[in-house]
Each structure stands twice: as C-alpha cells, then as structure tokens.
Structure 1
C-alpha cells in the first residue's frame, strides 16, 4: 500500500473512531408542552394536547360530549365552522441559539393554518398531508419565544374556493382542501371535520451538514449477494469536507465509505454496497419477512449525523400480460406469483391524532392471524403513521398504497397542483424504503366515477366544462404523480386509478382490478360472486352489525332496535339496515329479537362473503387477489368491516382466517352438482387424502368417500364433481351436512362444512352444547360438545376484551371442539358468564 492510501486509511480510521466522541450535528427538541387553545375571537383559553385536534381537546375540557355516543355527532357540527387558535411559549438557551441553523418542523398541520412566531407570520399551511419546515434561525430569540397557530374553518375555505370555479365539482364540499376526505362523512363514517396539530412539532438544530434523506434500493439479487445502492441528499450550510459511511450494526455486510466535498445546499450522493448471501423478504405465508438494519453516517469536521433505516431485500412487481382471457393482474414477489389475500384499510380513528403504536400493533396482528398478506390503504383516509408500515415490514404484509384522492373530481389550478406535488414528494420519500410497500395507486374510483356514475349529466356540464375537469384529472394522475414517482421512486409500479373499469363493464372481469358491488349496491344474490370473478378483486363487501357489546357501548336500552334514531346515526348507508334485512329475509327465518338480528347479520356477512372469497381462491391463477371491503372501522358503527372499532372480530374475520389459509378445501354446489376444489398458496405440491363425510343433523355418519388428491402450487384445482343426488343417496338435503377434510396421514391439513339448503329451508334444531372449562397460561380453555349439528356456534364473555382462538364455528355430534379465551383479566365466574348460542337459537 502506498503512502497516499495509508494516509487516507489512517484518516478514515481517525474520523470514525472519533465519531463517538464528537457531538451530533443535528439535534431535535419537541414542542409538545404547555399548549392552550381558544375559539378565535374569544378570550377563554383551555389546556390543549399536542399532537391532538380541536374535537379531542374540547372533549377533554368538558365542552362537548363524546361524538361517538348515541346521536352526539350532530351536536358537534359547529366545531368545524369556527376558527381556533393554539399557542405555546418556550425558552431558547444560549447553546440552542448558537447553532448555525434552526428549523421549525410541523409533521402535520390540519389543515388551513396561519403560523406566527414571535408575532411574525412564518407559514400559511394548506395541506394536512405535508411536512412543513421553516427556517427560524433569525427569528428565535434567547429566552422566551411565542408560537401561535390560527386554524381557519375548512368548511369556509372550501366554500370560498368552490365559488371561484364556473362549475360545481362532484363532492365539491371536500375536494378543495388537501385534508382526509373521510372526515367529511362516508357511508361508514361520521362527519367530524377536525383542525389541529395532528402530528409532532419540533425544533431541529444543526451545524455544518446533515443527511436529509436516503433511498436504499436493491439493484440486483442472486444467491451469492444482493447489490444495493443508497441515494442520499446531504444538506450543507457551507462548503465542507466530510465522509459518508454505510454500515450494518449486526455485521450483516461490510461497511462502505466515501469522502465527500460538499457544496452549499443540497448535495446528491450515491453509494453502493453488497449484502452477501441475502435473506430475502417474503410475505406472510410464503416465508420470513427478513429485514436488515442499515446505518448511514455522515462525519464532518465538527460532528456527525446518523440516519437509521430498516430495509428488506426483495423484488416486487405488478405483472400484466396478455393471455387467452384478457390481461393478467398479479403481484410477483422475488419472482414468485402471489395470490393477494387481505382487505381495504381505512383510518383506525376518526381522530387519528390519538392513535398509538399499540393500536397499529393490534390491527396488524389481527391481519396476520387471519392469514393476510396484503392491505390496501384506501385513498379516502390518511397516509398512515410510520408505525403502520414498520409493522407491515416486520409481519410480511404487502401494502397497496393509494394516494389520498377518492370518489370525486379535483381542481387543477397551479396552487392546488403545487401543494399536491409537495404532498406526493413528502410521502413517497417517507415511505419508499419500506419493503412492504408493493404498489402506488393514484386514486380510488375516480376514473370509474367520471365514466359511470352520471356526474356530467347530473351536474349539467357543458362540453368545455367536461373537457377542463378531465384535463385537470389527467394533470394529477397521469402527469404529476408519475413524474414525482419517476424522480423519487422509480422502483415500484404505479396504477392510476382503482378500479380500471367499473363493475358494469365486461372488461372488469378480464383485465385490471375490479370493485364489484353488484352484491349490496346492486341487490344481486350472493351467488353472483361465483359468476363475477375478476383478475384481481380490490373491493367488494357486505355489511354486518358490530358485536352486541359494541352496540351497548354507544346506546341506551331504548335505542336498541333496528330503526331507532340512534342506530340510524350509527348506520351511514342511507338504506343500509333495510338492505341487510332484505338479504336476511332471502336466507333466514325472522330473528326473534334485535340481539339475534345482530348475531345473524354477522353470520350472513361471513357466509355471503365466504362465497365470493372462495370463488376467487378457486379461480387461481386466473384470479390472483381478493381484498374485501373493509378491514376495520374508525368509530363504532354498522359497516362492511370484519374487525370493529374496538378490535373485536366479527364472524367474517374468523371465516376469512380459514379461507386465507395456505391450504383451503372448498366444497360448493353448482347446477345440482357437488364440487370440491383444493386451493394452495404453497410453492410445492401437497399430496394427501380428500375425505367427504355426510352426516345427518343427529350426527349419524350416512356416507363417506375418500380419494388421493394433489394440491398444486399457486392454483385452485377442482378434485371432485358429483351429482348431488347421487351423493345424498336418498338422504334429505334439508337435514344433512357435508364435512370435507384434506388429510396427510392422520393430520388434518384443512377442513370445511357445506350445508345443502338455505337456513330458512333447513330443519334446524336447537342444540344442547355442553362444555368443560380449564384455566391455562393464556386464560381459559373451553372444550365443547353438542347433541345435534350446531351451526355458527358463538361464544361470548360479556364486558371482557379477551380474544377467542376460534368462534362462529360448526359442530357435529360425536366431535369435541376446544378453544382458548386469551385475557389478562381475572374472571372468577367464567363458567357462569360464558354465553353460548348457535344459529338455531336466533329464531
């Protein structure tokens, strides 16, 4: 080694060894204390919580009641019509003042806000989804500083902006504000239009230089190594020499470093590194979601800055290829086609500022337990918190990410496009390092709405109006967003609008993704799900009531009837309860009371949706994804969710867990024939025995067939096709049930039941279900037996937040079923409190 190389090596060693002794170049101080708020124009001040919002602050101060309770939502509509002022004071000491640069950072202001620091206006914010950074180096003073934010009424802002246009845009009330659309009310959510500092606010002090952001990309993968690059932006106050280093704290790869000659301003820097024998990131069910910690260190003359990222090595692409049916639509992960199993994710809260990491942990855990591998972040909500994406990374949940535009047309003036551009840049840069992020999607249902929902005729547009509105649409979704993605994240596919065709078009079944709403909106029977199988179903759904305990949480006893005023407030679809009742009349006898109606609604939702999801699964690889509407709720409500606001599982969530298993046996009736399909997400074939057992409702085994079958990888394969009457051999279809099992030796790989008639046509009998309870380390273990066939057996411990390992299951006499109830609470009278019901009990 020559003297020059020795000198450089020695210099680097000194620089990095000194790093621990040097001071950080960047410091952060959160400003979340001592806030107070007031309605603008008044002198009455109240304590405020930051992050937070005006509604939660008004509740905390006893000024408004909980909008979720009974009909209180209507009583708080005045809040969004007013202006609100938030203020705080903080001290700056000599050390803080001595930094070369100080920025005031708002990670989220909701939404139209004028910010003053020490009496001077420093920001006029207009976008809930942007991060705002203001250089306040010359405005801060040593000693006391005063920060004040005036939040303008979003309703008044929208009204003023709408008046500037010569036409009325669809959903005109909400489209002018870059604000969470769902807060203006949806067919599952309340109208609660918030204002406030909804994300952290802090001061960032720095000297010399800092790492602004890093995009870590996987360029090439082989068994031997993965070749990656880190594209960085380094911000320098003045020209300076520095050293950049990329390292693994676990020693997963060798460190790489580079000397830099920084210029004032933003410096673009790229550095390559390699990970030997990489452990790939896989989605839930296909493998481990392996992650690597990567540290990027900048060492300058007087200090250092460190950026920590967690990445996954993987490739993911949306593959669309012409075939004999139309055009495929499927995700390939590390070259492997993946059937997407999951649901649409809306915000977990109407007031997202009060969400915690624990809330996200609970939600993602429930997705994993139900065998999800994908969630679609729907475009009418929010770009979720970092915790959501981190947990999806850790748990192998792929994310279909909409930009926040939904079911409306948007303006295209320069000011609006400019703030949208910043919004897209901010969120793409924030999220692009997440291994879980699979797809960027421009919007929800806007193209579909423009072409199929009659907006143009209903709103009386001239030809010029329509041309302008559609031009503005193209500016955002076919020009601006693709341009930003090309600059900030060219590694992922972009899908302009979901769905590509409305559900009334034949193309919706042969190409692109589909939102099929013939069931529910079109009042079509559940059986239509089998006929309307698309290449990728990204929305479809059916409502059910939340659990009875949830209904009790927002009602009084006199409210608990189907069409009471309070229940109507918590049913946002204009004919939702009537629609549930109509479908229920088709399938079921009349429930004996409202609590039974609530229970049957969940059973019906699970059965009807299972019909659709099973049809999609059986159609692999023609169909390669099913994301039902919807995973969760933002408040206690009657909705399409499988998991209610409090995290309680409806019957659908338990049913989905079975259907989303890697191996699934699916018996079904078609044209008076009994058919059975085996569905597999495994990457290799699975051979075993299919056993079909016919029981009468007293548990007598009437017939049993078995055959050797094979579940093929990434496919649904029909393995049985029998005339139903030949299988029944004279037994009544009204009083028999099929149990289908796929076994490997004595191990049951998967099983399922099939009833041959609708519940209202079956000879159901009320079951006597006996049980034995034992305590274990998780809570309680319950072993059950029944004297007759019991369908949709539901277990409940009132007023307890524990979780059942299984629920809403079927039982056959002679068999036992053991489930656990996980709870952290002591329940001394568990046996007395345990409630058990089956479907026959509801009528």
Structure 2
C-alpha cells in the first residue's frame, strides 16, 4: 500500500450560468478549464480570436458561473489512509466551493493553491455520490466593489480599467496593448482528491559553492505531514548513479521538517546555454512507515549566480555572472502564450523554449502581468540552459496594501517561490513591471534614502513600496536560502535617482523611445542603450498564414481594415507603423496586405537586429561591461495579432527572430555606417564621424521629408566593423573581409579590405573604427553645388568572418545606404535552388544586392534562417524542414 494516493477529479463535470435553471447544465470537456472554452465547445460562442468575435463574448465576464461534479469515496479508501484532502491547485478567481452542500472554501486569488481536509464532509459509501460545486463570481464586478470599499487608496491603473488592481488575477485578462479583453473564470488548474497516511509536501536544497567552484556544501530539506514516518532518506544522483545519500533527521524546532547535510567535491554545475552543459541531478526523498513508502523526486541544478552592480566609468554595472563567468543575457520577454492558458500543453511550452534556444537566446523574462507559469516552462528552461528573470505578478498599477490584500500577496508569493525555487534556471525575481514609473509620472511619495521605515510606506500614496521593498524580498530570502537574486522592479535603478526608471547609467531600463515616446528612428539605437535593456521593441505583421487564420473575411485582408485594426491593440499603432515603414521604404509596391506585411517585417527585423548588434557591442570586456543584456519585447503573442512579438501565436517566427539569432550567434561579425540624421548635419561643410545630438560641430536642422539626410547617400561614408563573441577562449587569426558592392551594378566598387583579427574571449573586438569608405559620388563635397544624381553609385558594405578552425564563413552582415527608399533597386536576378538530402537545403544567389529576402512561413515549416540580405558572390544557403511534396517556396524582397 502506498502511503499517499492522488486521484485527479478531471472528468464528469458540468457547468452553467447561475441565473439559468437546472435544465441548462452543459458538459465540460475536462479539468483544468476556463468558461470561454467550455462555452465554445458547446457551441454557445464563436472562437473569440477570429474576426471581431472578442467583442461578442464580453458578456461572459459579467455572469456568475457554476461548475459541478460528483465522485464516490469507498469505505476501503477511507480504511487505507488516515487523511483525505481536496487540493485546488488554482481557482480563477472569486470562488466559493461546497461539498455536499457545505461550504468548505472561499478563494479570491487565482495564484494560490488550497488544500482542504474533507474527512468530515465526505460521504463514505459504495453507492453514495459526493457533490462538489464551485461558484465563480465575475472578477470585474468584484474588483469595482473593492475599489469602492477602499477610498483611502489612490487608484492608478495603466493599460486597462481600475477594477484589475485589487484583484489577484492575471492582469492581462483585462486586455493590454497587445492582447484582447477576455476576463476568464473557472478551475484553471487541477483539482485532486488526496488520500494519505504520510505525505512529502515539499523538498528543496540549500547550498553554496566554494569560490573556486570545486566544493559544493549543502543541506537537503523536506517537509512531511500526516503520521510521523519511521525513516526519511534522500538520494542525490547523476545520470542514474548515486552521488550521495543519507538519512534525514527531524528538526526539533520545526515539527515535520527533515534535513540532512551533504558535500560534493568537483561537482558538475548547471550552465546557461552556450557556456557549458545545463547539468541536472536527480534528488529523491523517500519516507517509510510500517514498511510502506512514499517518495517524490525533483531535478536539481547547482550553480553560482550573481548580479554584478559595481561603480564604473559608465555609472553602475548591471550584468549576471554564473559560475564566475560573465554572461551576456540576450533574449526575450514572455507573456502568457494564450489568453486561455489551459489550452497550452507541455509540448507547447517545450516548442516555445526550444525555439528560443535555437535562436541563440540565453534569457527569458516572465512579465509581471501574466501568470506564474506552468512547471513545464521552467523545466524546459532547466533542460536547455535558458536563464529566467521572473517578475512577481504586478504590472502598471498603484497596488493597494489593505490587510486582506497583503495577506493574500504573502501567501501567493510564498507558495510560488516554494514551487519554483528548485529550478536552477530562475536567477532573478523582480517585484513588478513598471510600477515605479507611475511614481515618477504622478509624483507619488518615494523617499528612498531618507525613509527606511516600511511601516511608514503604508501611509503614503505609494504604499506598494512595502510589497516590493519589504514583503517580497523577505520572502525570497526566507525561502531560497540566498540562491536567487531579488530586484525591486523592472525597470529600477538604485532608488536614488529622480529618474531612476529611465537612467541609462544604472539598473535596468525599458527603452521605449523607439516606437513609443519620442519615436526616435531605430537607427539611433546605439545612443539609446543602458546598463541592461529589459524591454524594447518594434511592431511587425505576422505571416500571411496567421493573418488569414484570424480574418475569415477575404474582404478584410488589407492594411487598415477593421479586422486588422482590431487585432492590433497598441495605441496609435496605425500612425506609428506607417511612419516607420514610410520613413525607410518605398511603399508604392505595398498596395496589398502581403506587400505591406512584408515591409513591416523587414523594418522590424532591421530595428530589432540593429539594436541587438549595437548593444551587444557594449558588452565590451571584463571590467568594462557597459551593457549586460538585452531582452526584446516580446517573444510571443497570446492570440493571433499584429504586435511586437518576434514569433507569432502559431509559433511562426518573423524575420526579427532570425535577425536576433544572427546578432546573438556565439561569434558574429557586424558592420554599421554612420547614421546621417536629417535633424543633425555638419556645420560649415565639415565632415565628422561622430553622431548624436550635441556632438561638436553639428547644428540642428528642421525635420523634413525623412528622418535621414539624403546627403548620406553621397557624403563620405564612415563605418565600423566589430566581432562579438561569447566563447570563453580567445580566437587567434580569424579573417574579416569587407566588400563594397554597387547597388546598381552588383560589382565591387573597390578592392575588398581584409584583416586578420584576434577575437577576445567573451566580449567584443573592434576591427575597424570610423573607417572611410569609397565615395558614392566622387568630387561632390560642396552642399551648394547641384547634385548630378546620374553619377550617384550607392553601395552596400558586406562583411564576412572566417574562423581558423573551420575555414568557412561563420557570420556575415550587410550595411545599406539609408533610407532604402531613396535607392533605385534594379532587378537582382534572383536564383533559388533546392536540394533534398537528410534535410532540404535551399540556396539563394543574386546578381545585385537584395534587401529583406523573406520566405513565406507557415506552421509546420522550419527555416534555419530567413529575412536576410543577399549580395553577389556570396551564396546564401539555408535548411528547410516540413515542406510538403509538390509544395513550392514563395518569397518576397524589398523592391518586388
């Protein structure tokens, strides 16, 4: 007999609206679930993601819903075990639970698990049915009631309405600037009938590593409830072989807590992807009672994680160090991958994280307006070596601190930290997303240096400081043994600056002066970095297959249609998208949805890829880490939409995903030419390689037809080339080749420049700085002389990197004259050839330079690269998986 048995109550459920009679009960497919999915399965509502259907299902959130099931509990089951509990892993959100007509639970926090002893309420019989019923009240209405009940609170909520702030529920359910308003309810996590005599509630490890990483000292901990076991022991193994095992002793001061110390010499450590193997051990705890046993296991990874914040010549550093190795954290921000998270499977999570790893990404930031994610996500991150920055679930609001709210938050945070603390991938917890920006915008009370009394914070108009700087960090310290870093917010500097959330010299920043805010040209990204850029982004359309999936009306498949507008929630998106596209590209050929979508994708790829290249350049070298990481907003979508995501709802990557992949390659070469901003030009005819407002010798001109000065096409070209490397060893004798290729003829306009380079380990190496390229219009230096554009011969700069160990090109980059729209692009004579083998290889060859070559993607197709530029003399070969027999690849490029 097992000491512990769990019986999921998955089937046999029905549901209905509370105001309907008993003839209206409808079947539930299974638990976990959400009411919208059950209504759709029963034909009561249409798919909320299609067309404008989101609007037609708003009524669902205004009703009270009831879920009900029955189950038997036999005398034999009672006799076998001393305890019987009902476990509700998650109820969304205002729920009242009755068993056989007796109330056993009230819940108002979807992030909390409840365990209820039901031995006194359950019917024990072979024939009797136990009736379990859950009533879910509307979260929006309950939230509005709480707002009225607490007039002492200054309610400030961005993105959505005020009702979400007092409700401990996924905040994005109220809608966001990338997601629909779909306020769900229901049993969104499993419900389990748990019978046991002795059970292991939890196990974890507290440990430390010696400075040289050669000795691991730790303590295995477990909590055991029910009848006191005769014996508790642990076994720590690796690859099936035990490393250390021992009996565990009960802590005399904490009944039910068992501990045992251990040491491991020369331990195998867990490393982030690209820096070493993400080694996982297996920890098993076994409890024995009357010759019966129960056990549980968890994968455990050992690593030393530090957040390095030290003064330097740029301000204060902000970067991660794992196992004494500096890590450039290039990656993405994550939102829930569905508005209805119960649709997601472990395979879905694996596919998402695998896509990250394949894209050379190292860190995932789980954003604070969603959910504490499924264990499947964190487990996959553990296995693939993806670092996790985990926000607590607070976002863009001035949250309250009345006693009931604080109590709920404490329970929520404690449970979630305990649930997740064994994952080596989680290296940082942040208190919230962007809540301190409200402090600055609304001039809320915040005296970081002069007021260190947490109780006084509760009396200010920013009482949530108590949560972020007292309550949560104390929970982290108590529950993780110091193995996880805590950061009060994202973004957050050090509390001392008056503009701490936007200070580029300290902490992390969200850089939204590209797209939002000042709407700077994305070419200015090198000037707009920070010590750690934890958010930035550019919108782009998804694949045509995705656009067709959410718009069932062919007549709506055009840019700016009602359906297209509805599926882009960003404020001012039409103006911003068109502005960025029109400033950079000739839109005359984008007269249909496919053409316009392609240009937005190329534009997004240029913006995102350029930012990653320039900010990774600021990784520099040990002791001079100007930028410690970059996380794009965002990796994914929660519904099929137009957004900042680099991969759409159906896991179809956009060109921006591949631009990131190239920019984050273990070793990559980069080239950029001086950006000639129309608003800043040399005074008195000077030529000057510097850029940026306030550079000496530059004066302001009024903005005119574009963000780019057309003189950039013919003035002296100044360019930089550098190599970024995450390899931990220096690379001697690499070869960098720089070509200058005419856009018109496709021929090299001068001899290539070749350099042998020694590439620094784990840093960036400048190859050429402010080098002068050939003139695109020889003899034209005087602004007052009329231009003879027939002599203009603009060129692209193409760089390649060859490593000595392979002799092959491992990285390439292309810099174009900007804006692209000023160029007369000739027919490039593209040839695409494919060859089938173990995988299909596709080769693209051109006679003239090609900008933004994009193969059409759809679910099921996988490309090793896409959205690239191609130049004459440099074949582009990629691998393609999933192409059906007889199916032809289709593509677009700028100018066609």
Do these two structures clear the TM 0.5 threshold for a shared fold by scoring above it?
A: yes
* Counterpart position of 2:820: 759
* Counterpart position of 2:109: 127
* Counterpart position of 2:138: 153
**TM-superposed deviation, 1:776:** 3.1
* Counterpart position of 2:875: 816
* Counterpart position of 2:17: 39
Give the SS at the match of 2:854: strand
| RMSD (Å), alpha carbons | 2.4
2:492–2:501 CA contact under 8 A, matched in 1: no
**TM-superposed deviation, 1:738:** 1.3
Give the SS at the match of 1:487: helix
CA distance in 2, matches of 1:503, 1:744: 47
The counterpart of 1:694, out of the listed 718, 736, 740, is 740
Matched, 1:75 2:132: no
The worse-fitting range, judged by mean Cα deviation, of 226-235 and 542-551 is 226-235
* Counterpart position of 2:682: none
* Counterpart position of 1:12: none
1:241–1:262 CA contact under 8 A, matched in 2: no
Matched, 1:491 2:483: yes
CA distance in 1, matches of 2:721, 2:434: 35
Structure 1 residues 258, 581: closer, same or farther in 2, change over 3 A?
A: same
Structure 1 residues 52, 650: closer, same or farther in 2, change over 3 A?
A: same
CA distance in 1, matches of 2:109, 2:406: 12
**TM-superposed deviation, 1:42:** 1.0
Matched, 1:29 2:4: no
**TM-superposed deviation, 1:244:** 2.4
CA distance in 2, matches of 1:29, 1:641: 39
* Counterpart position of 1:244: 233
2:742–2:793 CA contact under 8 A, matched in 1: no
Matched, 1:85 2:146: no
The counterpart of 1:96, out of the listed 77, 80, 84, is 77
The worse-fitting range, judged by mean Cα deviation, of 676-685 and 665-674 is 665-674
* Counterpart position of 1:14: none
The worse-fitting range, judged by mean Cα deviation, of 426-435 and 239-248 is 239-248
2:458–2:464 CA contact under 8 A, matched in 1: no
Q: What is the correspondence of 1:536-685 to structure 2 with a 5 Å cutoff? A: 536-555=532-551, 556-590=553-587, 591-620=590-619, 621-670=625-674, 671=689, 672-685=717-730
1:767–1:840 CA contact under 8 A, matched in 2: no
CA distance in 1, matches of 2:269, 2:593: 51
**TM-superposed deviation, 1:216:** 1.2
Structure 1 residues 701, 125: closer, same or farther in 2, change over 3 A?
A: same
The worse-fitting range, judged by mean Cα deviation, of 556-565 and 504-513 is 504-513
Matched, 1:116 2:164: no
**TM-superposed deviation, 1:251:** 5.0
Q: What is the correspondence of 1:5-404 to structure 2 with a 5 Å cutoff? A: 23-43=1-21, 44-48=24-28, 49-98=30-79, 99-143=81-125, 144-166=129-151, 167-171=153-157, 172-207=162-197, 209-221=198-210, 224-237=214-227, 239=228, 241-248=230-237, 250=239, 252-258=241-247, 260=249, 266-404=255-393
* Counterpart position of 1:515: 510
2:492–2:500 CA contact under 8 A, matched in 1: no
CA distance in 1, matches of 2:673, 2:660: 20
Structure 1 residues 295, 800: closer, same or farther in 2, change over 3 A?
A: closer
CA distance in 2, matches of 1:234, 1:519: 53
| Long gaps (5+) in structure 2 | 446-454, 620-624, 675-688, 690-716, 780-790
Q: What is the correspondence of 1:673-822 to structure 2 with a 5 Å cutoff? A: 673-687=718-732, 688-697=734-743, 698-702=745-749, 703-726=751-774, 730=778, 735-745=794-804, 746-778=807-839, 780-796=840-856, 801-822=860-881
Give the SS at the match of 1:472: coil
TM-score normalised over the length of structure 2: 0.86
CA distance in 1, matches of 2:155, 2:387: 34
Matched, 1:839 2:831: no
CA distance in 2, matches of 1:477, 1:433: 22
**TM-superposed deviation, 1:258:** 2.4
CA distance in 2, matches of 1:250, 1:686: 33
Structure 1 residues 587, 74: closer, same or farther in 2, change over 3 A?
A: same
1:240–1:262 CA contact under 8 A, matched in 2: no
1:235–1:264 CA contact under 8 A, matched in 2: no
**TM-superposed deviation, 1:263:** 8.3
CA distance in 2, matches of 1:805, 1:240: 54
**TM-superposed deviation, 1:764:** 1.3
Give the SS at the match of 2:752: strand
1:699–1:814 CA contact under 8 A, matched in 2: no
CA distance in 2, matches of 1:259, 1:800: 50
CA distance in 1, matches of 2:371, 2:739: 49
**TM-superposed deviation, 1:840:** 1.1
CA distance in 1, matches of 2:117, 2:521: 60
Give the SS at the match of 1:417: helix
1:733–1:756 CA contact under 8 A, matched in 2: no
Once the two structures are superposed, what CA deviation does each residue of 1:464-504 show, in whole Å capped at 9, x if it has no partner? 99974545212211121112112111321110111115996
TM-score normalised over the length of structure 1: 0.92
CA distance in 1, matches of 2:442, 2:828: 48
Once the two structures are superposed, what CA deviation does each residue of 1:734-787 show, in whole Å capped at 9, x if it has no partner? 531111112224222321111123211122123332223333344x33223223
Matched, 1:525 2:521: yes
